[in-house]
Amino acid sequence: TGAQQLPAENIPQTKPNHLRKGPLAFFRILLDNFQTVDSQRPKPAGQADKKTKHIRLITIAPSHYCEKVRWGLDLLDEDDNSPYYYTEDAHPPALSSFYSVPATGGSSSSVPVTVHDGNFISDSTEILQYFCPFLYPGPVAGEILEFEEYLDSHLGATARCLIYHYMLRKEHREALVQLMTAHTSKVESFVFNMALDQGISRGMKKLMRVNEESAVVSEKAIREVFLRVSNQILASPEQKPKQYLFEDKQNGVGFTAADLTFAALSSVILCPKELSPLQLPENQMPKELLSLRNELRGTPAGKHALRMYEMHRFKNMERSVVMPKSALGRNRVSNRVYAIVGVALAASGSFLASRL
C-alpha cells in the first residue's frame, strides 16, 4: 500500500457521556424499555452439569471480528469437556455502543466484547488467547500472534471499509438494514432504520474513513493479503499445498488461530455457505463485491479459508450453518403493542433523528 494509509483497525471510541446527550439519550430510553439484553440462553442440551462457566458475547452479528470470536467460543460451547458456554448479545452498528461501553466500564465502544466472571475483554485476539489457548501451540505461538496482528490491520479493517463503502450507498440501504438487524430486537431494528440516513451512516463513514480513496486502498490491500497467504500455503517442502498455515507435522501443529483468523476475517468477502444466515443473498450483493468474491474464491488462499469453514467451523458436525446463540424473549412487548407504539415513536423519532 506504500504511502497510502490503510483504514484504521481501531476507530475512535464512543464515551459514556456521548450516550447521555440529545437523540442518543432518547434512543437509550427506547432500548432500555422495549428490549431485554441481560438474559442467558439455556445451557446446551444434556450438558447442564458440565457447563458451569457462562460468557456474555456482545456483537454486531455480521461482523467478521465478531465471527472470529464466535468461532472460538463455539468450539468451547460444543465441547463436552469444556465448562464454557455463551450467550450472544447482538446489536446493529452504532447501537452496540449502548452495551459495549457500560460492559467495559467506559473503556471501549467496539465489539466484540466478552464478559465473564465480572471481567471483560474487548479485543478479538486477546479473547481467543484467553479462552482458546489451544489455538496457539507453543512452537509457533509468537508467529501466529504476529500474523494475526497483520491480518487484523490489512484484512479486517480493509474488508470492513470496502464492505461499508458499497453497502452504505442508497441503492443498498434496505439490504443493509435487513442484514444488520436480522438478529436484534424489534426496537433496535426500528431505531437503526430510523437513524441510519440521519446520522449513523454519516458517522460510520467518518469514523471508519470510508470513501472512494480508502476503498481503492482497501481492495488493493485485500488482494495483497490473499497473495501472501496463497504463497504461504504453496511454500511447502512436500511440493503440495499446506493443509494449515503454520503446519508442522513433527510437532503436531495443525489448525491454529492463524487459520481461524484468516478464514473469519475473509468471510465477509468470500461468503462461505456456513455463514449464510449472517450475510446477504447473492442477488442482493453489490456487483463489485460479488465479482471480488468470485475472483478470490479461486485463489489458494480463498480455497483454504472455505476449507477451514468446512472442516473446522463446527465441533458438532450435525450443525451446518452459524446462528447466533442468543437468549429468547428479547422483545418486551407483543407485536401488536409494538406496532401501536411504533407509530407514535415514528412521529417523534423523525424529529429526533434529524437532530443527530
Averaged in consecutive runs of 10 residues, what is the pLDDT profile of the chain (356 residues)?
A: 72 85 83 84 85 96 98 95 96 94 94 96 97 94 96 97 96 96 91 89 92 97 98 82 87 90 98 96 96 98 97 84 88 59 52 46
pLDDT recorded at residue 34: 83
- Collapsing DSSP to helix, strand or coil, 95 comes out as coil
Query: Residue 354: enclosing H or E segment and its boundaries?
Result: helix 335-354
What are the backbone dihedrals phi and psi of residue 65, each rounded to the nearest 5 degrees, phi first?
Answer: -65, -40
pLDDT recorded at residue 353: 46
Q: Could you tell me which residues come within 8 angstroms of residue 344 by beta carbon, excluding any fewer than 6 positions away?
A: none
Q: How far is the C-alpha of 188 from the C-alpha of 181, rounded, in Å?
A: 7
pLDDT recorded at residue 25: 85
Per the listing, cell 484467553 goes with 130
pLDDT recorded at residue 351: 46
Q: Which residues in 84-154 belong to E strands, given as ranges? A: 84-90, 113-116, 119-121
pLDDT recorded at residue 354: 46
Bridge partners, residue 86, by sequence: 55
Per the listing, cell 469437556 goes with 81
Cell of 349: 423519532
Angle at CA of residue 20, ends 15 and 22, nearest 5°: 115
pLDDT recorded at residue 340: 52
